[in-house]
Amino acid sequence: MTKTLIASAAPILIAFAAALTPAQAGERRFAFSYEADTAPAGTREFEQWITWKSDKGTNDDFNEFTFREEFEFGLTDRLQLGIYLADWKILRGTDDDGTSFKDFGFDLIYNLTDPTTDWIGSALYGEMLTGPEKFVLEGKLLLQKNIGKWMLVANTVIEAEWEGEDLEEQIGVWQNTFGVSYQINPSFTIGAEARHEVEFADWEEAGDHSFYAGPNFSYRHKNCFIVVSPLFQISNIADEPDFMTRTIFGFHF
């Protein structure tokens, strides 16, 4: 039933997007990777993120739904601000079933080079999150190249997390994401995404390297867009979900 509900949500969102008309939507094509382009000065956008993880090798009943509500603002033609009103999650099939608030925060993206006119596009990304017994700092290098109707992206991510009642637990995360997308027409693109991640307990002991890959779809209509990226685990780690998908619906206002 859960999978049916998630699968049915995408066409509903697309239909809703098609009904809205005011402005032109952005160029976001990926759900797990950021592009190096930033929003033009004075533009505003709302994004609703939904990430679903399921089916662990150690627990076939595991389901986690995480949600993010974000506002993005183009401060200048090179500097973009994102504000996360709330990150929250729903757990099912575990001993901790229920709904919980995770954190809130903001990010800044500064564009360095253009992905079309320069040999490669690049940007720097910084993020801060805080919540109950949690504090996170994250930095990313965003790379992008546009070649005709093709778009290639790569992100390198370093994340530092402090967790626990006194924030005594320290976790380091190194992550890499990759994406390729082809524009079939001005509204619709298809492609693929991949993600690699490894955690370091106390910034010393490395955990397992997880790898995910899968297709990517995006649809844009005037001021709205929707991106869907289902990823499948290809690293065979029992404690990690075998499947995850992220849907991002957004509109300019």
- In this predicted structure, what is the pLDDT of residue 26? 53
Mean pLDDT of 90-99: 94
- For the chain, the average pLDDT equals 90
User: In this model, does residue 150 exceed pLDDT 50?
Assistant: yes
Residue 34 is classified by DSSP as -
In order of 73, 113, 149, 250, the CA distances from 77 in angstroms are 10, 12, 23, 20
* 8-52 per-position pLDDT tens digit: 444 444 444 343 333 343 568 999 999 999 999 999 999 999 999
Cβ neighbours, 10 Å, residue 216: 25
Look at residue 10 and give its three-state secondary structure. Answer: helix
Q: Would you place residue 97 in the very low, low, confident or very high pLDDT band (cuts 50, 70, 90)?
A: very high
- In this predicted structure, what is the pLDDT of residue 91? 96
